[in-house]
Amino acid sequence: MRVVDLDRDTVKRGLSDGSMLVIDVREQHEYASGHIPGAVSHPLSEFDPAALAELVSADGRRPVFSCASGVRSIHALMAAQNAGLDIAEHYRGGFKDWYGAGETIE
């Protein structure tokens, strides 16, 4: 399994320059209570490789998984790679790191 850990600064750069698609794999209620601006919701509990592949190919930006703290995003990477998707990056600190640093949330 390929895993590339990204830090908050890298995620911020990717979002600000429009090159990164942050895919939040937390549950829908977690996403609804606050998320990284611009992140899209794709809960790990409802993981659908076909829908994910469609989202990523239609969007065109580089996909990066994010969760609360970096655990579920690793599981999402495993599931995506097992389904044949070329996704290897995740936000190591996740939403807790983002929120804890005082970054803007939606």
Q: Are 79 and 47 in contact (CB under 8 A)?
A: yes
CATH of the domain at 9: 3.40.250.10
Return the structure tokens found at 9: 């600064």
In this structure, what token pair is assigned to residue 69?
């703290």
Per the domain annotation, does 88 fall within a domain?
Answer: yes
Q: In tens digits, what is the pLDDT along the chain, a chain of 106 residues?
A: 999 999 999 999 999 999 999 999 999 999 999 999 999 999 999 999 999 999 999 999 999 999 999 999 999 999 999 999 999 999 999 999 999 999 999 9
State the Cα–Cα distance between residues 106 and 102, nearest whole angstrom. 12
CA distance 40 to 21: 8
Measured in degrees and rounded to the nearest 5, phi and psi for residue 4 equal -115, 115
Among 7, 16, 35, 26, CA closest to 75:
26
Q: Is residue 24 part of a domain?
A: yes
Q: Is position 85 within any domain? A: yes
Q: Tell whether 63 is covered by a domain.
A: yes
DSSP 8-state class, residue 21: E
Q: Is residue 35 part of a domain?
A: yes
